Chains A and B, each alone.
Chain A
Amino acid sequence: MRLEPIANPSLARTLTPPALAIAATVVVASLLAMVAGANPFGVLGLILKGAAGSKFALLETLNRATPLIFTGLAVAVAFRARLWNIGAEAQLYAGALVVAVLGTGMLPWPSGLLLPTLVILAMIAGALVLLVPALLKVRFGVDEVVTTLLFNFIFLLFVSMLLEGALKDPMGMGWPKSARLIPEARLPRIFDGLRLHWGFGLALISAVVVWIIQARTTLGYEMRAVGLNRDAANFAGIPVNRVLIKTALLSGGLAALAGFSEVAGLKGSLTLDLSPGFGYTGIIVAMLALLNPLAVVAAALFVAGIFVGADSMSRAVGVPTYLADIMLATALLLMVLAILLTRFRVVRE
Chain B
Amino acid sequence: MSAKTEAQVVLRLNSITKTFGALTANDAVSLSLHKGEVIALLGENGAGKTTLMNILFGQYTADSGTVEVMGRALPPGNPRAALDAGVGMVHQHFTLAEGMTVLENVTLGTRSLWSLGMDRAAARARIAQLAADFRLSVDPDARVGALTVGERQRVEILKALYRDARILILDEPTAVLTPQETDDLFETLRKAVALGLSIVFISHKLHEVMAISDRVLILRHGKLVHEGRTSDTDRHDLAARMVGAEVAAPKVAKGVPGPALLQLGAVSTPDEGNAPGLKSLTLDLRAGQITGLAGVSGNGQAALAGLIGGLRSPASGTLMLNGETLPHWSPRMAVHHGIARIPEDRHKTGTIADFDLTENAILECYTEAPYSTRGWMHWHRATEFTQEIIKTYDVRCPGPATRIRLLSGGNMQKLILGRVLEASPRIILANQPVRGLDIGAVNYVHERLLEARDGGAAVLLISEDLDEIMALSDVIHVISEGRLSPAFARGSMTPAELGVWMAGHGFEAEHAHAS
- Scan residues 304-359 of chain B and give those whose CB is less than 8 A from a CB of chain A: 309-311, 330-332, 334-335, 341, 343, 348-355, 359
Q: Which residues of A contact B354 (CB under 8 A)?
A: 228
Q: Is B21 within 8 A of A237, CB to CB? A: no
The reply to whether the CB of A16 lies closer than 8 angstroms to some CB of chain B is no
B364 contacts across to A, CB distance below 8 A: 236-237
Contact B350 A235 (CB under 8 A): yes
- Shortest distance in angstroms between A82's beta carbon and chain B's nearest beta carbon? 12
State whether the Cβ of B244 lies closer than 8 Å to any Cβ in chain A: no
B376 within 8 A of A: yes
A108 close to chain B: CB less than 8 A: no
User: Beyond A218-B375, A218-B376, A349-B61, is A235–B309 a contact (Cβ under 8 Å)?
Assistant: yes
Q: Contacts A235-B343, A237-B331 known; A217 to B363 CB distance under 8 Å?
A: no
Give residues of chain B (370-425) contacting chain A, Cβ–Cβ below 8 Å.
372, 375-377, 379
Does B125 make an interface contact (CB < 8 A)?
Answer: no
- B46 within 8 A of partner (CB): no
Shortest beta-carbon distance from A241 to chain B in Å: 12
**A39: CB under 8 A from chain B?**
no
Contact of A235 among B21, B331, B355, B377 (CB under 8 A): B331
CB of A139 closer than 8 Å to a CB of B: no
A-B contact count (CB 8 A): 71
A172 contacts B by Cβ under 8 Å: no
Cα A221 to Cα B368 with chains together (Å): 13
* CB of A107 to closest CB in B, whole Å: 32
Number of B interface residues at 8 Å Cβ cutoff, please give it.
33
Q: Report the separation of the CA atoms of residues A222 and B359 in the bound assembly, to the nearest whole angstrom.
A: 10
List residues 419-475 of chain B with CB under 8 A from any CB of chain A.
Answer: none
**Across the interface, which residues of A come within 8 angstroms of B335, CB to CB?**
237
Whether the Cβ atoms of B352 and A228 lie closer than 8 Å is yes
A14 interface residue (CB < 8 Å to B): no
Residues in chain B near residue A216, CB distance under 8 A: 376-377, 379
A220 to B355, CA, bound (A): 13
Q: Which of A226-240 contact B (CB under 8 A)?
A: 228-229, 231-239
- With both chains docked as a complex, state the minimum distance between the C-beta of B305 and any C-beta of chain A, in angstroms: 10
Say yes or no: is B248 at the interface (Cβ < 8 Å to chain A). Answer: no
User: What residues make up the interface of A, taking CB atoms closer than 8 Å to B?
Assistant: 4-7, 216-221, 224-225, 228-229, 231-239, 349
Interface residues of B (CB under 8 A from A): 20-22, 61, 77, 309-311, 330-332, 334-335, 341, 343, 348-355, 359, 363-364, 366-367, 372, 375-377, 379
Besides A5-B21, A218-B366, A235-B349, 18 new A-B residue pairs in contact (Cβ under 8 A), listed by A number: A216-B376, A217-B376, A218-B372, A219-B375, A220-B377, A221-B359, A224-B355, A228-B352, A232-B348, A232-B351, A232-B352, A233-B363, A234-B311, A234-B331, A235-B341, A236-B331, A237-B334, A237-B363
